[in-house]
Each structure stands twice: as C-alpha cells, then as structure tokens.
Structure 1
Amino acid sequence: MQFLSFLSSISFGMTLLCAVFALLVAFLNSTGQATSSSSCCAALQSALQSQVFNVNTDTYQRSVESYWSLDTQLRPACIVQPRNPQEVSLAVTTLVTTNDQSPQCQFAIRSGGHSAVPGTSNIQGGVTIDLSLLNSTVYHPDKGFASIGPGARWESVYKELKQYDVTVTGGRDATVGVGGLITGGGNSFFAAEHGFGCDNVVNFEIILANGSLINANNSTHADLWKALKGGSGNFGIVTRFDLTTFPHKYFWGGMVEYDGFTTPQQISALVDFTDRIAEDRYASLLPMYRYDSSSDFNRVAVAMHYTKPEAFPSAFQDFYRLPNISSTVRFDHIYNFTREMSPLAGLHHILLTQTFINDARVVQKAIELQNHYISEAKAKAHGNDWTLISLFQPFPAVFGQLAKHKGGNMLGLDDENNHILYLLGYSWDNTADNDLFNSIGYKVFGEVQSYAKELGVDGRYVYLNYAGKGQNPLQSYGEDNAREIARVAKTYDPQGVFQRQVPGGFKISMA
C-alpha cells in the first residue's frame, strides 16, 4: 500500500510538472507572439503613423465592436485603417517584410465584417487591415459604371447612386460590405436579370503581395479578373470595384409575414416559383421559416421584390392566396428595401449553407427538423433571446447561364437544372449557449444533407458568403475551377502570402 501510495505521489508530481511545463511553454509562445505582434505594429506605426490604432484607442474599440457577430469580435494587436490604395500597399509590404524578419506578422483584411466565422475578417493578436475608409462611390455616366471602394456598405452605395437614378447588382442587406460580398459571388435582387454582383465587375483594382497595384479586367490580367469572381481573398486586396450600372428609380416589394400553418402551401409556391423564374426575371423571393423564443411562435417571413415598378405582379400569385399577418409591400427605392432586410447585430451566430435540386421534400424536411429541435433548445438554453431560421433562395439555371454570358466566374453554377439554396441561420444572446446552438445547427444541417443525398437531389455548390466553419466552398466550385483558382493564386502571389500570412477566410490551399 505504501508502494502504491509512493507511485501515486510520483504520478501526481509528474502530472503537476507536466502541467507547469505546458503552462510555461504556452506563456513563452504567447510572449513571443505578443513581442512579434508588437514589432509588426511598431513597423506599421513607423510607416503609416496616425492610421495605426492600438488597443487603448477609441478607434480600435469602435472597430472591434462593429463586427456583426459577437464571435468575430476578436482583438488584434493593432488595427490599420488605410485611406487610399497606396497606404494599403504600404501596409502589405511592411507586414510582409517584417514577417520575413520575424515570422508571426499574420494579418486579416476587413471589408464589412459580416461573416459569422471567427477569423475571416479579424484576427486575435495579429494585425487587422480595416478598409472602412476606402468607402467612396463614384458614378461615371460616360463609362456606364460606378467605382466603389471595398469598405463601403451597400446602403451608402445605393444612397449615392440614387441621385443619378441608377444602381448596381449589389447586396440585399444594407450593412454588408462591398468587398466580401462581390469576391464571394454576390447574390442580388437583380440576379436573375443581370447575374451575380461579381458577373458585373468590369475591373478590379488590386494590391498584390509585393505591394504592386494592378488592374484586372477582360483585356488585362484576364485570368485574375475571372478568378476574383468568387475566388475571395486568395490573390490580394481589392481596393476598387468598377461595377456596371443600369437605370433604377424604384421598384415594388417588401416583407410579408404568415402564420406557420401555411407552410405546406408556402413550400409548394416556392418550388413552383423557382421553376418559373426564367419566365419573369424581375422577381426575387426569399422565404424564411422562423422561430423566436421571445414570441414562442413559428412564422414564415417572405421577402418578395419585383425590380420593375409594377404592383402585385403575377410572379407571386401563389402567395397572394394565403392569409398573411402583416405586409410592408410598397413602391420604394432599393436603399430602403436593403435597410429593411438587415438582420440585428450584437448576437452570436451560426450560418451553414448548401444547394440542392429544386425539390419540395427537402424543404419540408429542413423545416421539420428545425421544429423538432425547438423543444431541446427551450429545455437547455440559458439565454432568453434566440432565433432559429431556415431560409430558402431560388438558384435557377439562369444564374449559371448569365455567368457564362458575362465572361464566366469561378462559382461553377449549374446552368441546366434549377436549384434551391438552403441557409441555416441561428442567433442567440448568451455566450453560455454557444455549444448548444452550434450542436443543434450542425445536427440539423447534417440530417438535411443526408436526406437530400438519399433522394438523389443533393447539390455540389456552397455559397461562400453564407458558408460556415468546416465548410469548403472553393472545393464546391468543381475540380477545374478550384485548380484554376490555385494556379492564379500561385501566379500573382508566388510566395503564398495570402495563404500563410492571412490565415482567415476560405483558402484555396486548403480546398
């Protein structure tokens, strides 16, 4: 017994020693990282002076707190806010040079900060390049496009262009940043008529890893121009988007809310609408099946918009037959419609997405699964404010057809079959519920995927701007497109700066 006691004491002592050693290693690593990050920030401070903000400044705090999801409000060692492309170039070359001398100068690039995946546009302990000051919108009527900064939000873009009675194929949420949306594809109210946002970029101005500024369009650096249409942040930092404009004063639309008992008819109407969208390309539809804890009620909120000044168009006739709870449909400007579509900030979020061939059974299954897990969430949630949403968007073949017509993109969209995009979006207020809602979300999503595969209607494509942690949207573009993105990234960033030194986002090296 004494021998066993002796062994036990040795074991405990070794365990304690190992624990102390692990803590010491962690401390030394963190100290090294902090020292390295300090040298990165010091180098930036020397190069860009007043545009670099440390943790004790109000600008730093405002930037961190302005991220849409609480989980992405990481704390970098410093934040740099360039005022022009030249300062973006200087920031990149400074970080690359300093990193070569003492590796650890990792950085993130922020446009709007609307991703739900931590680290996508922010970084813990590194440097965040915040593009919020590159936010101008300049209309060129003689050229038929608008030059837009990556840090602009769509509400400011639409507001500026409103005075000229033109608009662009931009986001449907007022608060989303331009840069991330466009390089991730960019769905729009106008997608069936004009294609995705990326399909309407006539020129990208971009800073490469070596600090050079180049323009990518269909005649100069055409391979990069195409790769940026969905290739995200794998090549450099886009400092200007030249987006095609077209006439627009106002159109018809709004949010219509229905009771959950209309779900069977709603699903049928969605599937029929998706198959008919090519017949009327002005119509846009987003049904959201929503349960929120505050009301303890299941509702269906349908965003319907018609990009012509025509009230109650026949495209939505199946929805008019259903009794609604409320409606905001009206004639209005896109600026106001996007403000109506903006979700609340300041919560925790999980987003997961997938496409599948247009099939009512999969939509029904997704809604049933969401409803099934409400009781578990009620029983286990610590917070009082949480919401479960299953959102569906038509992804018709016309999206892929328009992409080819406009020079092609990297998305690999099906141009023969109509699909539906499924977005699982949960939000909650209490950090203690992070594990609960992530667990429920992944379980529901996995079961929906399995069911679609079982039916033989599962789709390949994953929309990058909705993709969640663990998803691989670049791989979903197809083998040929993923290979081309990798080739272009290697051509314009041979040292792999935007693969290894910028760890956030979806990397082609990991696809």
Structure 2
Amino acid sequence: MSRLWFSLLIVAATSSFTRAQNETTGSADYCCTILASNPLVGERVTFPGQSAYNESVASYFDIKSRLTPNCIVGPESSAEVATIVKALTADSGSEPCQFAIRSGGHTPYIGASNIENGITIDLQHLNATTYDAATKLASIGPGARWRSVYHTLESLGVMVIGGRDASVGVGGLITGGGISYYSYRYGLACDNVVNFEVVLADGRVVNANKDSNADLYTALKGGNNNFGIITRFDMQTFVNEGMWGGLVSYPASTISAQFKALTNFIKNIDTDTNAAAIVMQMFSTQAGNNSLVVNSYAYTKPTVRPAAYDEFLAVQGNISDSMSLQNMSGVVGEFDGAPSFRVYFGTLSFANDIRVLEKASELYNNVLAKLQAEATGNWIAYALYQPLPPQYTKDSASRGGNILGLERFTDAFIVYQPYLSWEGSEQDALFQSQGAYLVDEIKQFAASIGATVEYLYLNYADITQDPLASYGKENVKKLKAVGSKYDPSGVFQNLVPGGFKLSNVKI
C-alpha cells in the first residue's frame, strides 16, 4: 500500500470519527472544540462552570438574555476576532457553527446577543477608549460601556456623542443609530463615527469610512449586525463644557401639563440647540406602588435653569429634583444599573400631537390596572416620550450618510417606548402582551387621526417588530446590496440568528 493511499485512509477514518463525534456531542460542542484547540484564541474560550463564563452570562441587562451558550470566547484584538470568525465559518464537514455577538448585552429580547447551542463572541475585553489630540478622534472598543467612555474623555477635556444610560454598550447603540442629549448640536451617534474597523465574514479586517468601503460605512450606521463585527469606532470629539441635567419627579396627576409642556418644547425646539428632554410615566412596586412622572432634562451647556425648560419647571408639586451642573458621566449615572428583572422594550413613532399623548396615557393606565390586578412580585412600568427633530440628521449626508431614512421627515416627531420589567418567567406572556398592547393600540389611534410616523428606533424595538423595514424601501435595497457584496455567503444572516436580520425584512 502506498504512503499516499495510507494517508487517505487515515484522513477518511478521521473524518468519519469527527462526524460521529459531532453527531454525539452536537455541532456547537464541536465548534467550541475547534476554538479551544486554536493556538491563537484557545485561551480566550471559557465553558459552563468556569468563573469567566459565569460572570459573562450573569452580566446581561435582562435575565431572559442570560442564556447558556456551549462556550464563550472573549477576543482581545481585531486579529483574534478575525481568527474566531475564520474558525467558525470554515468548511469542516460539520454542521454550521452558529454564534452570537455581544457588545454590552443590553438588548432585552431572547437571543439578541447571546445563544443556546452555539458560541457567544463576547467583545467586552475590547473596551479601551483612547484619544488622539492631533486628529481629535476618540477610538472606542465595541465592548466599552458609555460611563467608562465618558470618564476617560472628560479627564481629557473632550466628549463624544453617545448613550444616555451608563451601562449601555457602545457597539449596539451606534449600529442602531444612537440618540444623544447632544444630538441637536452634533447629530446621532452613528453620524459621528469617522471610521469603523470591521471584521468581515471571510475574516478580513477592513476600514469603512467616506473614502474606503463607503457603502459599508453608510450601512453600518443603523444596519445592526448584518455585515460584520465592528472592532473599533473612531469618533469625532468636541470640547467638553459640562452640562446642567438630572431627573425631576412629579405626581402622576400632572401628566397633562407635562404633555402640554412637551408639545410646546418640540414646537420651539429650534430656539435652543442645547436643550433635550424626555417625559416618562412610571410605576414601581418598589417605590411604594406610586405612579409618577419622571422627566429627564439635559442642557448641554453649564447653564442653570435655562429658559427652554420654563414651562416644565412651572408645573407645581415636584417630588424630587436632582438637577445640577455636572458632566455627562454624572447625568447618565442616574439611569445606571440593570434591574435583576425580565425586560420588554417596544417602540413607536408618532406626530407631535397632544391627542396621541393623551391616548397613550389612557392606555398606559389601562395596563397599570391590569398589571396591578394580575401581576405578582416586584415590577416596573415606564412609558417614555422624547422628541426626534430633523436637525438630528441635518449634517448626516456631508458625513457619508446613514441608512435610517430620517430625511423623509420634515417635522419633529415623538419616539415612544414602553419599558416593562418584572420577576418570574411565568409572567413573561402577561408583560410582553401588555407592552405589545400599548404599541398596537397607540399606533391604531395615531393612524385614525393621521398622526402616524413610519419609523421605528431600532435600539428600542422588540423582536416582533421590523425596524429595518421602517427605513424605507430604497434603504432596504441598499442594505441588501451591501450585505450581498460584503457577506455573499450570508454568514451574518444564517450563522448569527440574533439581531434584526436583513433576510427577515418584510418589504
């Protein structure tokens, strides 16, 4: 027998053994073995029972998202991410290796950034924030949380456009658009990215910016996780002047006055580019079973009680007031802390019409009544109302554009978010149905009076919604063309089930 023939027999036998092993242990275990045996990334792989694995799973914002992948791999460089992607997409004769991509792990629907029977790529070690004074750019890892970003940059006298919750991850916020307190002045977070470093489906590490891979650059600004794994965001900075901000709480009985103040604030939003406001209805069993209105005010100059908030601040009977001169890290800290609860987000947009706001409040009270009658344990119910004016994207085109389709809207509108959290998996159907009820009923009412706005903010959307479709047909076509160009084999459509997939867009 020749040496060649003998070698072929060995290969065939080994392949048969591998397939048999794969059938016994499952393809995910086999894929974990592939990673663990790779000399370049093997030490980054952790398994159930190991402390690093357990800490990663326990750190997800939503308890429902704390799935148990077969293994977790935590790369520490873009080269390691590329090695992992190549290993997981190699044609090994086994079943395909499915995987999830985690930045901050804040999206609260099952499977968004974690996976059962697969591998989770946890980017939390890619969390550095550095600043180049010559270019005035901040380079930020996708696994960083916004509190750490702000702390680093504030010490250097600069700031970037980022999230309004300290614990939110950088990667998810930016690829969903990214609303900021500074957005009127400087635009959305995604439009402040000068360059993305991206690992593509074939393992190549590329830069996407206005001059290189420009179509990918545009698509990443709102396109979620459909094109690759972003390993660095190079963001434009501006001088950090400090701000005046915090939370003011009021009795629930003031909601009509708050809505009147909000609609007027939005009508006059052009008069002061520094002012941002969010009106929130809130009920918490942990806060004495009280219904409240909690407003977030953030003025992006160090000015106390600016005139932009006069109508809000004239509302009588406030219960608490944390407004003060502080940095962004302090303001976002008031939204910090993931409850050890199960969470529902949903979203909707509608015109700046007080009739819709009043209807939304009526429906919110219906939900409170049902939950007070049927829910057990501790739970919280929020309804958030915030403006999205056209000025947020006025400079987008000159910066390479984004894919959100917001240029269709010439008037400021309201982004709505029901945010419910609760204890116990047995209550999932109750709370999720009530969140969906709010979205559906408000949408129907808005449509009935011609106040519909066909845009869904991806970072608030539930998995049952279709935010990519809300960008408009032409932008969906652009997204799909970019997907076909940079991921022709559909790795991020087929092997990464989490996120809002282009392949599922109903348009």
Task: Give the root-mean-square deviation of aligned CA atoms.
Answer: 1.2
Deviation of residue 426 (structure 1)? 0.6
Within 5 Å, which residues of 2 pair with 1:18-97? 32=23, 34-47=25-38, 48-97=41-90
2:162 aligned partner:
170
- Deviations, residues 181-231 of structure 1 (Å, cap 9, x unaligned): 111101111011100000000000000011000000001111111111001
Following the alignment from structure 1 to structure 2, what is the Cα–Cα distance between the partners of residues 332 and 101?
A: 57
Corresponding residue pairs, total: 479
1:298 aligned partner:
291
1:307 aligned partner:
300
1:202 aligned partner:
194
1:509/1:193 CA distance change after superposition, 3 Å: same
Deviation of residue 296 (structure 1)? 2.0
- Deviations, residues 33-88 of structure 1 (Å, cap 9, x unaligned): 85211110000001121100011211111000100001111110000000100000
Instruction: Tell me which of 348, 359, 362 is aligned to 2:353.
Output: 359
Within 5 Å, which residues of 2 pair with 1:270-349? 270-294=262-286, 295-323=288-316, 324-349=318-343
Instruction: Tell me which of 183, 188, 204 is aligned to 1:191.
Output: 183
Deviation of residue 457 (structure 1)? 0.8
TM-score by length of 2: 0.93
Following the alignment from structure 2 to structure 1, what is the Cα–Cα distance between the partners of residues 368 and 169?
A: 32
2:7 aligned partner:
none
1:236 aligned partner:
228
2:10 aligned partner:
none
Which piece of structure 1 moves more, 395-404 or 59-68? 395-404
Deviation of residue 411 (structure 1)? 0.5
Instruction: Name the aligned partner's letter for residue 301 of structure 1.
Output: V
SS in structure 2 opposite 1:103?
A: coil
SS in structure 2 opposite 1:402?
A: coil
SS in structure 2 opposite 1:39?
A: helix
1:262 aligned partner:
254
2:454 aligned partner:
460
1:106/1:161 CA distance change after superposition, 3 Å: same
Could you tell me whether the CA contact under 8 Å between 1:192 and 1:277 is conserved in 2? no
Deviation of residue 256 (structure 1)? 0.4
Alignment of 1:117 with 2:109, yes or no, is yes
SS in structure 2 opposite 1:139?
A: strand
Could you tell me whether the CA contact under 8 Å between 1:400 and 1:412 is conserved in 2? no
1:219 aligned partner:
211
Instruction: Name the aligned partner's letter for residue 302 of structure 1.
Output: N
Alignment of 1:403 with 2:404, yes or no, is no
2:5 aligned partner:
none
Could you tell me whether the CA contact under 8 Å between 1:350 and 1:426 is conserved in 2? yes
SS in structure 1 opposite 2:108?
A: coil
TM-score by length of 1: 0.92
Could you tell me whether the CA contact under 8 Å between 2:167 and 2:338 is conserved in 1? no
Could you tell me whether the CA contact under 8 Å between 1:162 and 1:249 is conserved in 2? no
1:404/1:301 CA distance change after superposition, 3 Å: same
Instruction: Name the aligned partner's letter for residue 305 of structure 1.
Output: A
Which piece of structure 1 moves more, 32-41 or 205-214? 32-41
Could you tell me whether the CA contact under 8 Å between 1:34 and 1:125 is conserved in 2? no
Could you tell me whether the CA contact under 8 Å between 2:100 and 2:498 is conserved in 1? yes
Following the alignment from structure 1 to structure 2, what is the Cα–Cα distance between the partners of residues 97 and 46?
A: 14
Following the alignment from structure 1 to structure 2, what is the Cα–Cα distance between the partners of residues 463 and 214?
A: 28
Identical aligned pairs, as a percentage? 42
Following the alignment from structure 2 to structure 1, what is the Cα–Cα distance between the partners of residues 345 and 491?
A: 28
Following the alignment from structure 2 to structure 1, what is the Cα–Cα distance between the partners of residues 296 and 171?
A: 24
Gaps of at least 5 residues in structure 1 are 1-30
Instruction: Tell me which of 171, 182, 200 is aligned to 2:174.
Output: 182
Deviation of residue 293 (structure 1)? 2.4
Following the alignment from structure 1 to structure 2, what is the Cα–Cα distance between the partners of residues 122 and 308?
A: 39
SS in structure 2 opposite 1:125?
A: coil
- Deviations, residues 415-467 of structure 1 (Å, cap 9, x unaligned): 41110000011111222211111122212221111001111111111011110
